[in-house]
Chains A and B, each alone.
Chain A
């Protein structure tokens, strides 16, 4: 095996080990971290644009504890989200829902990006099909002819 191939294999082994170690530690932290990151997406009902994870308001503390308890019971994020939506409504979410009117928040930026990309592609294509020389006016040609010292404004002379 060549030295170069050996170094690629070594790199692949290091990457695989790092991935396994990383995934292992994630498993250990999973519940607390998931509860914390989920609490970051839940709005404190009595605060202004603050999540229950960051607020010390009595109701925020209670909701945080409830989220922890539900994750500990084994509920997943969707189940906890549905419970909070049933009690507090859409306003409890700091991130808008991916369905209904709220989905526009997610769809519009992507649609805007696609439209912009399409417009760019269309413009570039038009530029390629319409070389700049084709749009030279008679005045332009006259100017070029006088600069070149010839009286043939249409460039139909000897082709120099």
Chain B
């Protein structure tokens, strides 16, 4: 074989995809697919989580509210209460807000359940702005030292706790809620109480 033939063959071999390419391409495809799936997937909502507080008396939710009043969960005995921990910097909180609004409106008419939000490490002025923009007329308790959040064992927001008419914690929901999900939990808890 002449020198020229050798060079031609070497350059042809260089152009041919090597073994590394056969591995790298499928890996890259799988990675891209994974990223697409994760980026476009709807965040999981209405996820029931375990909590040390379940079945026990609900920790106090009392303190000043955003509108200048005060709130005390102890005064709400006899009704189901959804205690919702949120902040304006939390995107899933923003996403669940219309669902909470729908649930609150539906049950305000029935008169069996209500919502109370507890601010988790956020600026009250931002919370005020958030409620002006997104609506919602339920009490919003300011928890300056995050004491209520810690008492409930909040790990990450949004988190919601369903409290029964006797003041017992019945369900903990993480990752945001939907009206349908809350209704389902409420119905199940009513059935079991």
Contact = CB atoms under 8 A, between A and B. Distances in A.
Chain B associates with chain A: yes
A146 B119 CA distance: 96
Interface stretch (A56-64, A103-111, A122-130, A147-155): A56-64
Interface stretch (B37-45, B67-75, B126-134, B145-153): B145-153
Contact of B145 (A69, A85, A88): A69
Contacts of A88: 52, 153, 155
A65 interface: yes
Nearest to A67: B150
Contacts of A61: 121
Contact of A59 (B50, B145, B151, B155): B155
A87 B153 contact: yes
A11 to B, nearest CB: 50
Given A58-B120, A58-B121, A87-B152, A66 B52 contact: no
B52 A59 contact: no
A95 interface: no
A104 to B, nearest CB: 22
Contact of B146 (A45, A66, A86): A66
A131 interface: no
Interface string B45-65: 000001111000000000000
Interface in A39-97: 45-46, 58-59, 61-63, 65-66, 69, 85-89
B35 to A, nearest CB: 21
Nearest to B89: A58
Contacts of B121: 58, 61-62
A60 to B, nearest CB: 10
B149 A45 contact: no
A154 B149 CA distance: 88
Contacts of B152: 87
B111 interface: no
Interface residues on A, range: 10 to 19
A65 B149 CA distance: 12
Given A45-B155, A87-B152, A62 B146 contact: yes
Given A45-B156, A46-B155, A62 B149 contact: yes
Contact of A65 (B145, B151, B154, B155): B145
Contacts of A65: 145-146
A146 B59 CA distance: 92
B55 to A, nearest CB: 13
Nearest to B153: A87
Contacts of B146: 62, 65-66
Contact of B151 (A58, A85, A87, A89): A87
Nearest to B150: A66
Contacts of A86: 52
Contacts of B52: 85-89
Nearest to A58: B121
Contact of B154 (A59, A69, A85, A89): A59
Nearest to B152: A87
A66 B121 CA distance: 13
8 contacts: A45-B156, A62-B121, A62-B149, A69-B145, A87-B53, A87-B153, A89-B51, A89-B153
Given A62-B145, A87-B151, 8 more contacts: A45-B153, A59-B156, A63-B150, A65-B145, A85-B52, A88-B52, A88-B155, A89-B50
